[in-house]
Amino acid sequence: MRSAAAALLLALGAAPAWAACNVSTGERPSRTPFFLGIEPMDGPAEVFCKLQQLKGRYRVNLQFRDTEVDRTKEFDFDGARGVGPEHLTSFLQSLFPTERGPEFDPVDGKPFPKVLKHVVQGRASSLPGGGELQIPDVWQGARQLMLWEKFAIRVRPMPAPLEGFTLTVNFRPSPGRFVMEASGRRPSLYFRAWKPRLPLGSTINSACSEEIPLCKELPDVVPVRMSHEVEEVRLELEGDNLAVQAEQTLTNLETRYRRNLASSNMRDFDPVRGRGRVEIRDGATVITGESFPPERGKIGPSKVSVVYAEEQSEVSYRTRIDAYFREFRDALVRQQSIDRKTRTN
């Protein structure tokens, strides 16, 4: 008999034709979509909609991975995307100050205002962790703001039979997505923030920072884009002696994707030691299923995971969207140069 947790690990949801939460990137789906049809080009709003194919009551946790702060809220999903993306926006907005306030959140003492130190402008010549955007100010996106921080949405079901199951979607900030959102080619998710919490620069000489070089004309409350795209989808089940769940999950992965099976040790799977691994590759998507041995003195796997990620290659979506950003920026640089020459002639 298949356990409820194993069934969740293998679920493939189908979206209804109409739903309150039905945003789309407009991109062509990949050959092997991630869990629930999640795609590498999806942002947090699209993922929030697709997660609602998991019917029931869930704890949804928003994680800001660089600042290491998070907050959880409970949602009831009807299996038909009945909770609109505005509910995610409201949840997100509740975390950030839009006026003067304490450094630490009064609800749980977490320093959510510190997240705003990772806000950057399209014109930024320096990014947290290195790199630059340097969008020429001839384009309106140079003045717009985005959060440059790794982000995650973690979902845990509330019914006791599924205790130990976690679904985590990890996101990366994407300059290509930022450009597309600012151009109206992608759905946007954003929150409002109080300007003095941003990394504006020196208070002594009033100089703007490298992160927000066009700071002078910003209003007191500014919109900040969550221009993020999916990096990986991770499903995990933890508990004692998960031999049955491990064998069901990994064997079903092997059977379902046999055409693209890259490696498997399931013929030698030992339910006592618990070590199992299946890898699927189709040239675009990598799916890795694993079960992990228990602590000393116990038997059976203590953890089962299935991880969906994009194959890193010249034709991957990530490679293409990053190249799109560079080409877009280079075109603006050329246009800026032409405009300057025209003005001097």
46-55, 72-81, 203-212, 306-315: which range is least confident on average? 203-212
Q: What is the DSSP letter of 146?
A: E
Q: Cite the DSSP H helix spans in 52-188.
A: 86-93, 175-182
Vertex 153, ends 168 and 43: CA angle to 5°?
A: 110
- pLDDT at residue 296, as a whole number: 80
Whether the predicted pLDDT of 227 surpasses 50: yes
Residue 207 confidence (pLDDT): 86
Mean pLDDT for all residues in the chain: 88
Q: Which residue has the higher pLDDT, 228 or 273?
A: 228
Reported confidence tier of residue 13, pLDDT bands at 50, 70, 90: very low
Q: Is the dihedral of CA 87, 91, 96, 101 positive or negative?
A: positive
pLDDT at 106: 79
Q: What is the pLDDT of residue 204?
A: 66
Six-digit token pair at 309?
A: 């990620």
Residue pair 177/166 in contact by the 8 Å Cβ criterion: no
Q: What is the pLDDT of residues 249-268, one digit of tens each?
A: 999 999 999 999 999 999 99
Helix, strand, coil tally for the chain in percent (to 5): 30, 25, 45
In this prediction, residue 17 carries a pLDDT of 38
Average the pLDDT over 163-180 and give the result.
Answer: 94
pTM, 2 dp:
0.90
Taking residues 91-101, report their average pLDDT: 92
Per-residue confidence (pLDDT) for residue 160, from 0 to 100: 56
Q: Who has greater pLDDT, 271 or 287?
A: 287
Contacts of 142 (CB under 8 A, 6+ apart): 121, 122, 123, 135, 136, 214
How many whole angstroms separate alpha carbon 215 and alpha carbon 198?
10
- pLDDT tens, position by position, 113-166: 999 999 999 999 999 999 999 999 999 999 999 999 999 999 999 875 556 889
Neighbours of 54 (CB within 10 A): 18
pLDDT for position 152: 99
Q: What is the pLDDT of residue 9?
A: 58
Query: At 75, which helix (H) or strand (E)?
Result: strand 69-77
The CB density around residue 149, as the number of other CB atoms within 10 Å, is 22
| Rounded Cα distance, 256 and 121, in Å | 44
State residue 237's pLDDT score: 93
